[in-house]
């Protein structure tokens, strides 16, 4: 068995094993409680990373603000521009004594405000891009009751984080804000987390088509994300607020238990799963995620579709790999292109001599010298002509004269001795006249090249025949009667097609079907 066939069989077997494994995995029934457990594991992992990051950043901000006395807007702007992560934090408000500083990322620019007067209603705004000031304006600010309440609530819990949900001024989405009041240094800091950036952090759960999260603070305040269906918001409506409220209320019954998920059936007769991730940090007690049972079922469809896509990809890669293997193996057997013959060298002939006779390669001891009878035999020329015609009518090939079937280098001296001049120049002239006689000048010029490399100190003849664009017949004079013969390559031999129908079928398929 050839190496090519072994490779193909291995690829097919591997495909069968992979497809069998994926199929067996797909037919195993998956229950929604299993999926809910997997979702919880992902939620727990993501939330730990998320709150580790927030805690580190906010603690750093607060520590820096407490320890540094930023005298002007430029120093504050440089600090926040360097340390504020735009992928997560959208803006910061700092109030220290009678100084107000505002910093916000907006598209590719930064907006800042700095006011040291006691009149907070008129604030000077600046816009920077690549640290260059590109705009300035005054903005009138009204301290709303909600903002006043926010200050009051934050001040009631000094030295601790206070979570607030507020409506964005520029969109329908909500912004999650963490507030902190440092009573020792008398300053407030409020850091906003853009809703989409907040949800994007839980990337492990993005395959859930429908879900909603809620935060329960340590003083049992409930903060609900208004739009968690970010990944398919065009397909699903948000879960009703009443469902989330019911889920939060029911979670209170498990507050002192060790469980981290439960299910319930709501008044709409729909089943829901509730994941409870106990955070207990940054003033957050529990992170609640509510997932409809139907949403978990859709995860199964997504995973099954993923298996199908994997199977298709593996199949396509296997087809490409098999094609490349076949192409590589065929390339090893293909003749040198005619355009390469002008530069045929010792490397070329050595590569050919390493191969065995095949559809594309044949060795001949001589053109005119009969080694068996040890004398000149002009009838041997017809064998050379037959081989040339067979190569041209098939896919081309190389004929080497001066090398026997066992690849022993005989050279051309015996052949030279049968001609008027014993050298390769006259030998080539004789060959070309022979080719012109049997195939014509046009066919010979387009399809046949001759070279005389030297191997082991002996000159041999390399004839390369291209895959011809038209059929070649060989005229044989048989007992005074001229017959046309049609030869092709079959394996490592040149054979005659004698049936007229077979010849016509072969010519149509080989020369007229567009495959040439």
Spell out the per-residue pLDDT of the chain, length 516, in tens: 556 667 677 777 777 777 676 655 555 566 788 888 888 888 888 888 877 877 787 787 778 877 776 667 787 788 777 766 565 677 888 887 777 888 888 878 888 887 765 555 677 888 998 888 999 988 877 666 767 777 777 887 777 777 766 555 554 455 567 788 888 888 888 888 765 555 555 545 555 556 777 777 777 777 765 444 333 333 334 567 788 888 888 888 888 888 889 999 988 788 898 989 888 877 788 888 888 888 777 766 666 666 667 767 877 777 787 777 777 666 555 444 444 444 455 567 888 888 999 999 999 999 999 999 999 998 899 999 999 999 999 999 999 999 998 999 999 999 999 999 999 999 999 999 999 999 999 999 999 999 999 998 999 999 999 999 999 999 887 777 888 899 999 989 999 998 999 999 999 888 886 555
Question: Positive or negative CA dihedral for 504, 505, 509, 513?
Answer: positive
Cβ-contact 450, 431 below 8 angstroms = yes
Q: What per-residue confidence (pLDDT) applies to 441?
A: 93
Can you tell me the distance from the alpha carbon of 13 to that of 352, in angstroms, rounded to the nearest whole number?
Answer: 34
CA 186 to chain centre: 54
Interval 438-449: pLDDT, tens? 999 999 999 999
Cβ-based neighbour number of residue 121 at 10 Å: 11
Sign of the dihedral through C-alpha 159, 162, 166, 170: positive
Residue from 125, 85, 82, 132 nearest 102 by CA: 125
Q: Domain spans of the chain?
A: 57-295, 338-511
Q: How far apart, in whole angstroms, are the C-alpha atoms of residue 476 and residue 167?
A: 98
| Residue (of 365, 366, 341, 362) closest to 353 by Cα position | 362
| Rounded alpha-carbon distances, angstroms, from residue 232 to 198, 237, 246, 295 | 16, 9, 24, 12
Q: Would you state the pLDDT for residue 237?
A: 42
For 388-408, the pLDDT digits (tens) are 999 999 999 999 999 998 999
Angle 417-418-424 from CA coordinates, rounded to 5°: 65
pTM here?
0.47
From residue 40, give the alpha-carbon distance in Å to each of 43, 261, 273, 301: 5, 8, 10, 19
* Helices and strands (DSSP H and E) totals, the chain: 13, 25
Architecture of the domain defined by 338-511: 2-Layer Sandwich (3.30)
Are 366 and 402 within 8 A, CB to CB?
Answer: yes
**pLDDT, tens digit (0-9, with 9 covering 90-100), for 265-301:** 988 788 898 989 888 877 788 888 888 888 777 766 6
- Report the pLDDT value the prediction gives residue 25, as an integer from 0 to 100: 59
Q: Provide, rounded to the nearest whole percent, the portion of the chain with pLDDT above 90.
A: 27
């Amino acid at each position: 068995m050839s190496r090519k066939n072994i490779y193909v069989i291995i690829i097919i077997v591997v495909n069968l094993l992979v497809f069998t494994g994926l199929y067996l995995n797909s037919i195993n029934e998956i229950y929604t409680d299993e999926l809910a457990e997997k979702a919880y594991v992902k939620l727990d992992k993501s939330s730990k990373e998320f709150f580790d990051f927030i805690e580190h950043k906010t603690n750093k901000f607060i520590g820096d603000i407490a320890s540094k006395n930023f005298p002007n807007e430029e120093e504050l702007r440089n600090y926040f521009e360097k340390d504020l992560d735009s992928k997560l934090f959208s803006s910061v408000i700092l109030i220290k004594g009678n100084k107000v500083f505002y910093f916000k990322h907006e598209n590719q620019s930064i907006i800042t405000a700095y006011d040291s007067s006691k009149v907070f209603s008129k604030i000077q705004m600046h816009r920077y891009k690549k640290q260059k000031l590109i705009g300035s304006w005054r903005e009138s600010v009204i301290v709303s009751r909600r903002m006043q309440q926010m200050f009051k609530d934050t001040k009631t819990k000094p030295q601790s984080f206070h979570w607030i949900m507020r409506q964005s001024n520029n969109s329908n989405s909500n912004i999650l804000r963490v507030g902190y009041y440092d009573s020792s240094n008398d300053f407030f800091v409020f850091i906003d987390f853009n809703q989409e950036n907040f949800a994007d952090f839980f990337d492990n759960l993005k395959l859930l088509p429908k879900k909603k999260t809620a935060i329960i603070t340590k003083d049992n305040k409930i903060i609900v994300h208004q739009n968690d269906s970010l990944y398919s918001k065009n397909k699903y409506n948000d879960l009703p607020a009443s469902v989330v409220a019911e889920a939060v209320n029911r979670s209170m019954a498990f507050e002192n238990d060790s469980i981290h998920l439960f299910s319930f059936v709501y008044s709409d007769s729909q089943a829901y799963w509730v994941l409870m991730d106990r955070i207990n940090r940054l003033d957050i007690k529990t992170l609640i995620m509510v997932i409809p049972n139907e949403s978990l079922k859709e995860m199964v469809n997504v995973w099954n579709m993923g298996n199908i896509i994997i199977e298709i990809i593996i199949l396509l890669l296997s087809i490409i790999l098999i094609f490349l293997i076949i192409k590589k193996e065929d390339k090893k057997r293909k003749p040198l292109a005619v355009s390469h013959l002008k530069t045929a060298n010792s490397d070329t002939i050595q590569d050919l001599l390493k191969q065995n006779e095949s559809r594309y390669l044949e060795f001949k001891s001589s053109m005119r010298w009969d080694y068996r009878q040890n004398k000149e035999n002009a009838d041997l020329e017809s064998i050379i002509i037959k081989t040339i015609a067979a190569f041209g009518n098939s896919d081309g090939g190389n004929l080497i004269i001066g090398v026997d079937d066992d690849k022993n280098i005989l050279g051309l001296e015996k052949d030279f001795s049968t001609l008027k001049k014993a050298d390769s120049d006259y030998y080539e002239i004789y060959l070309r006249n022979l080719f012109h006689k049997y195939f014509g000048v046009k066919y010979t010029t387009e399809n046949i090249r001759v070279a005389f490399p030297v191997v082991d100190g002996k000159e041999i003849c390399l004839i390369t025949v291209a895959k011809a664009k038209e059929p070649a017949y060989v005229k044989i004079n048989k007992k005074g009667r001229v017959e046309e013969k049609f030869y092709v390559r079959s394996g490592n031999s040149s054979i005659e097609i004698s049936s007229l129908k077979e010849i016509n079928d072969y010519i149509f398929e080989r020369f007229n079907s567009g495959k040439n």
